Chains A and B, each alone.
Chain A
Amino acid sequence: MRQLLLAIIASLLLGSLCAADIVVVVNPDSGVESLSQDDAINIFMGRYKQLPSGITALPVDLQQARAAFYQKLVGKTLAEINSYWARLVFSGQGSPPRQLTSAEEVIDAVSNNRGAIGYLDRQYVDDRVRVVLAFTP
């Protein structure tokens, strides 16, 4: 019993250490200082593609962080996110964010486009982008 308890505590600790500290970033010239989770849901789920400053939002996904990001954003698995987008795409309501394959690509896309918005692990953030939303790990 005690061993089991230790094992659980150890795995929880390990889990939180390994869990990605994902942050949402925008272009420093976007006019956005911070973003609510509801705004982020509207933008990344294709419901309302506009930043609070009024410019059109251009969301991008980071392929390897998608599962963790959408779990934190809306509590859904990738299968559920794919299923959700299937409905929107095939009823003509839009297309999912473009999928990028590295944190560097996310920073490039966001720093080169005023309306772009992406997410990545906090450790890759630099002054070319601005953090507007963080999820408590």
Chain B
Amino acid sequence: MLRLHPCQRLRPVLCAPLLAMLATVAEAQPQPLDQRFSWAGFGTLGVVYNDTDDMQFVRDLNQPSGPAGEWSTEPDTLLGLQARYRFTHKLDATVQLVSRYTYTSSYAPQVTWANLKYSPNAGMDLRLGRMGWDIYMLSDSRNVGYSYLWVRPPLEYFGLQQISHIDGADAVFRGELAGGLAWLKVYAGLADEELPSLGSRNYDLKGSEVYGAHINYQTRHWWFRVGYANATLDQELDSLEPLLTGLNATGLPSAAAAADELGLEGAEIRQWTAGVVYERGAFLSQLMFDHSTSDSLTFPDHQSWYFLLSYRVGEFTPYVSIAQTDASRDTVDTGLAGFAPQLDAAAQAAAEASLTDQRSVAMGVRYDFMPKLALKLQIDQLDAKNGRSMLVRNPEPDWDGKATIFSATLDFVF
């Protein structure tokens, strides 16, 4: 049964056609089990207002620009389509396309998934092809707004994850253990994405080697997970090249060592993660940690965490969420301070540029007003220490590091 909701009464002209369309898909007939081909989709219509002119707000580091002191639909609006073909009960193929605002400065669709899955029995899944990078709990579904409470996953935690999919293979082994379910996932592959880089060509993640594993234990109300992931970057950041060349040209071993410390090419990033989810009826809570170390000062060592708390009341689910990231400070010793102070200063500036100490407090509500369609409203208070953050775009030198972000989204699946 379809109820008339406030939107229909208030804005019939704007909302009615959209809702009629969504209602049609939401009420679609279930698909029979023996169907070989199936498809499904997800999407978000979102608006964001960033109250400061001093930086551009982005959803993650894949986006080149965002709103500063204005409204925008760019950060959160997206559409995803997934098609699946089942060869046998044990073998199927999946392709997923996502159109969202990314490093191409457009909504050009990207193939985020294209894999074959073989499940010989309930205890094992093997996949080959392109798949989401499952580095954190929920990270391989971070574009599916309908699947979580927030308007978007917390920036300070998920925003630092720069690779969203890998081309490779993964395997899951699962079994019952002490009244719960335990599983191990291992994966390895190559990245194939780009990251926008201020004032230069996009940073190309293509060819970066990724591998990792995580173990999980789930009971009726609890889900625990511990994981490790490793990424070795393949290419150099364009905007760093002049500095690295300058340091190496001095012929000084300490300067060459500094160039090596700053460069991204060949740098290894190691991430230890842990998460726990507690769900009981209307109550939901999530807590996750990430400890990351790297060989490059350009992607500094850091610790991140977030905590989410929510309680559903009827069709409304209010929530609060805190997320924080802190970078470890490392000075770079070029040995040039005495005779090439400008080069030394440039090296120090490069080492400082990515340091991010930032916290966000988000409060919001999700309203499940129709089947497979949810409305979310959220306010984020963002605080970046010293006004320095690599999680926002183009921060002005005089930005105080504070911003309030207002967001509203309609999230749907079909």
Contact = CB atoms under 8 A, between A and B. Distances in A.
A128 interface: no
Nearest to A50: B122
Contacts of B219: 38
A37 B179 CA distance: 11
Nearest to A109: B33
Contact of B181 (A47, A75, A87, A92): A47
B374 A87 contact: no
A41 interface: yes
Contact of A56 (B84, B121, B132, B282): B121
Contact of A83 (B33, B40, B80, B147): B147
B94 interface: yes
A48 B174 CA distance: 8
A104 interface: no
Nearest to B284: A80
A38 B123 CA distance: 17
Interface string A74-105: 11111110111011011110010011110000
A48 B38 contact: no
A42 B140 CA distance: 21
Contacts of B181: 42, 47-48
Interface string B24-54: 0000001111000010101000000000000
A53 interface: no
A103 B138 CA distance: 35
B413 interface: yes
A77 B33 contact: no
From A58, A90, A100, name the one whose CB has the most chain B CB atoms within 10 angstroms: A90
Interface string B280-291: 111000000000
A63 interface: yes
A50 B115 CA distance: 24
Contacts of A131: none
A75 B280 contact: yes
Given A48-B174, A76-B281, A90 B371 contact: no
Contacts of B148: 83, 87
Interface residues of B, number: 50
Classify the secondary structure of A's interface with B: mixed
B82 interface: yes
A90 B368 contact: no
B119 to A, nearest CB: 9
Interface string A31-74: 00000011001100001111000001110110100000000001
The residue in B82, B131, B181, B219 that gathers the most chain A C-beta atoms within 10 A of its C-beta is: B181
Contacts of B280: 75
A92 B140 CA distance: 9
B32 A98 contact: yes
B400 to A, nearest CB: 37
B33 to A, nearest CB: 4
Nearest to B182: A48
B141 to A, nearest CB: 4
Contacts of B174: 48
B144 A49 contact: no
B140 A91 contact: yes
7 smallest CB-CB distances across A and B, nearest first, come from A99-B30, A79-B368, A75-B281, A50-B122, A87-B147, A98-B33, A86-B147
Interface of B: 30-33, 38, 40, 42, 80, 82, 84, 89, 94, 96, 113, 115, 117, 121-123, 127, 131-132, 134, 138, 140-141, 143-144, 146-148, 174-176, 179-181, 218-220, 280-282, 312, 315, 368, 371-372, 374, 413
25 contacts: A38-B179, A38-B219, A41-B220, A47-B218, A48-B122, A48-B181, A50-B122, A50-B123, A56-B89, A74-B220, A75-B281, A77-B312, A77-B368, A79-B315, A79-B368, A82-B372, A84-B147, A86-B147, A87-B147, A87-B148, A90-B40, A90-B144, A92-B113, A92-B132, A98-B33
Interface of A: 37-38, 41-42, 47-50, 56-58, 60-61, 63, 74-80, 82-84, 86-87, 89-92, 95, 98-101
Given A48-B174, A83-B147, A86-B42, 6 more contacts: A37-B220, A63-B30, A75-B281, A90-B143, A90-B413, A91-B132
